[in-house]
């Protein structure tokens, strides 16, 4: 099977490149095609003749999206629409990576795939618009919602915490946002299995268990053997430009129907720290 990976240089894309074995994976970055230009997308897909496109490319700066909404929508909505149109035109299946931030966090139970998006911020709105473009324009499609990604291929939240612990006398981390951390390598394995199973529709993929950013940071310090004091703060105290959902846990129930269940985020964090050390990124 031929897989065209658009977004090969991103946090998830790099692990997809490294860990997707057994299929012919074609790598594409913005140098190969700017997804905002439908002609560039058409030339890329027509040249490579993939069975599936896995679209991980996107504008992912949550606070930056508030400052640059036109850019966020140009990439996450319009670029996704272009890829969707070309996928249908050339008879290619499309897997699109989305986010828990399409929800407002007002739920009192984990979000199901069929729950209607209601984003709080520009980034979430642009990804929700991308989801609609996939559903309206692509032929055979799979939307994967995930959350709180971390991986060693690029700097992510746990690595930032460890860097801060090495340079600051104490840390303050938001404790009133609840979600499920997701290790990129575990996500890659699930995506690969779903694509090979010809899955379709909307599915949620996260590591099991939930926590706050504060609990995530505290566990990172504990597993890494750091003793830097850490204190909880509120979202208001963090003073971030974009609003974040207070609760964005995604239900794994639909994913279980494919026989896929991810390990706990704590176990995944342990594997991540091993990978981080092997790459020489932390002591």
Instruction: Please give the positions annotated as active site.
Output: 123
What region does 150 belong to: left with phi over 0, alpha with psi -120 to 50, or beta?
beta
Report whether 229 contacts 173 (CB < 8 A). no
DSSP per-residue string spanning 78-89: IIHHHHHHHHHH
Cα–chain-centroid distance for residue 190?
Answer: 13
Strands 24-28 and 201-204 turn out to be unpaired
Distance CA 154, CA 15 (A): 10
Distance CA 50, CA 27 (A): 11
In terms of DSSP H, where are the helices of the chain?
11-19, 38-48, 62-67, 69-73, 80-89, 122-137, 157-167, 184-196, 213-224, 235-238, 253-256, 265-278
Q: Which residue has the tokens 């529709």?
A: 201
The set of residues, in sequence order, having a beta carbon less than 8 Å from that of 155 and lying 6+ positions away, is none
Closest C-alpha to 242, from 146, 119, 148: 119
At 232 the three-state DSSP class reads strand
């Amino acid at each position: 099977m031929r897989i065209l990976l658009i977004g090969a240089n991103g946090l998830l894309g790099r692990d997809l490149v490294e860990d997707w074995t057994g299929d012919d994976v074609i790598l594409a970055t913005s140098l190969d095609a700017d997804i905002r230009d439908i002609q560039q997308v058409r030339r890329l897909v027509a040249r490579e003749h993939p069975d599936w496109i896995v679209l991980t490319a996107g504008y992912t700066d949550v606070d930056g999206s508030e400052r640059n909404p036109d850019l966020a929508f140009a990439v996450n909505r319009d670029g996704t629409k272009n890829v969707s149109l070309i996928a249908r035109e050339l008879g290619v299946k499309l897997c699109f990576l989305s986010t828990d931030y399409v929800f407002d966090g007002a739920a009192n139970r984990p979000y199901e795939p069929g729950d209607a998006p209601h984003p709080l911020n520009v980034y979430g709105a642009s990804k929700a618009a991308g989801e609609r473009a996939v559903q309206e324009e692509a032929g055979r499609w799979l939307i994967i919602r995930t959350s709180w990604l971390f991986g060693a291929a690029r700097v992510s939240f746990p690595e930032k915490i460890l860097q801060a612990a090495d340079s600051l006398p104490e840390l303050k981390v938001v404790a009133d946002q609840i979600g499920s951390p997701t290790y990129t390598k575990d996500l890659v394995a699930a995506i690969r299995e779903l694509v090979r199973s010809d899955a379709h529709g909307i599915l949620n993929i996260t590591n099991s268990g939930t926590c706050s950013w504060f609990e995530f940071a505290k566990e990172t310090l504990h597993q890494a053997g750091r003793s830097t004091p850490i204190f909880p703060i509120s979202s208001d105290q963090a003073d971030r430009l974009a609003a974040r959902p207070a609760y964005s846990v995604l239900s794994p129930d639909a994913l279980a129907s494919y026989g896929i269940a991810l390990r706990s985020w704590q176990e995944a964090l342990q594997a991540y720290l091993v990978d981080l050390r092997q790459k020489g990124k932390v002591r």
